[in-house]
Amino acid sequence: MTTHSIAQWVAVSLSIATQCGSLPIAWQLYVPKEWIDDRERARRAGIPDDQAFATKPQIALAQLREAIASGVVPGIVLADAGDIGVQGSDTSAPNAR
Question: What is the average per-residue pLDDT within 41-66?
Answer: 92
Q: Are 32 and 45 in contact (CB under 8 A)?
A: no
pLDDT above 60: residue 3: no
Q: Are 25 and 16 in contact (CB under 8 A)?
A: yes
> Which candidate, 36, 38, 42, places its Cα nearest to that of 54?
36
Find the helix or strand (DSSP H, E) in which 37 lies. helix 33-37
Residues in the chain: 97
Q: What DSSP state is assigned to residue 97?
A: -
Give pLDDT, residue 5. Answer: 52
Tens-digit pLDDT profile for residues 16-42: 988 899 999 999 999 999 999 999 999
> Which candidate, 75, 37, 80, places its Cα nearest to that of 59?
80
Q: Are 44 and 35 in contact (CB under 8 A)?
A: no
Give pLDDT, residue 18. Answer: 86
Find the helix or strand (DSSP H, E) in which 28 lies. strand 22-30
